[in-house]
Amino acid sequence: MPKIVDHEARRAEIVAAVWRVIERAGMSGATVRSVAAEAGVSPGSLRYYFADQGELVLFAAEAMTQRVVHRLEAHPNSGDGLVRAIRVLEELLPLDEDRRAEASVWLEAIVRARFDERLAALKTAGWFGSRYLCRLAWAHLRDLDLPNSPAFRFGSIADEHAAAELHTYIDGLTLQAVTYPEQLTADEVRRLLRDYVLRNYPEAECERDPTGNLRP
């Protein structure tokens, strides 16, 4: 009997291989041949799923956004507004191996989007998705009505500005953490996030250690 291939599982394996290659060798290193070798398949087999490098990167970036969505959907509703806000924001930061790979793929995809129209729409959707999550975190902090879509806007200009500032900080922290992992360990990134939230939102109730930092 012919071997039955689970194509979705194989695509997932290939996407994981794409992420590993990009994290190790950059976007230019994610060729059909290098990804095939990483995934343990022939280049011909890989082309059954993806015609060229652009399709590989596009699918990897789309899969990355779905992983973030699935993690957010699995979040418990426990904890106060501060806890829930930080929980949301940490999904955007490279705090473990999976999220570091995701952040690397995303940053590489943004650069490639300047020259590849197939990634341009994904880049725009990613920006609105990140802004939505920052609005969600701000709503948790301020006990506001929660955003219900990426098109959501706060009625208050001050709240919109606060979400935009938070978005900018998260993007900068992500870029530095991916670029300088030796200086910005996961623990340091968590500390910087919590300290930023506390400096900007001192009315948030929390438990602090003797130095004033938010306890884990």
Residues 91-126: tens digit of each pLDDT? 999 998 888 888 887 887 888 888 888 888 888 888
Q: How far is CA 187 from the centre of its chain?
A: 17
Give residue 4's pLDDT band: very low, low, confident or very high (50, 70, 90).
Answer: low
| Res 1: pLDDT | 43
Average pLDDT of span 192-208: 74
| Rg of the Cα atoms in the chain | 19
Question: Are the C-beta atoms of residues 119 and 126 closer than 8 Å to each other?
Answer: no
Looking at the predicted structure, is the pLDDT value of residue 54 above 90?
Answer: no
User: CA 139, 141, 144, 146 torsion: positive or negative?
Assistant: positive
* Number of Cβ atoms within 10 Å of the Cβ of 112: 21
CA distance 69 to 58: 17
Which helix (H) or strand (E) segment holds residue 100: the answer is helix 97-113
The residues with which 111 forms a beta bridge, in sequence order, are none
Candidates 213, 197, 190, 215; CA nearest to 95 is 190
Read off the DSSP letter of residue 4: P
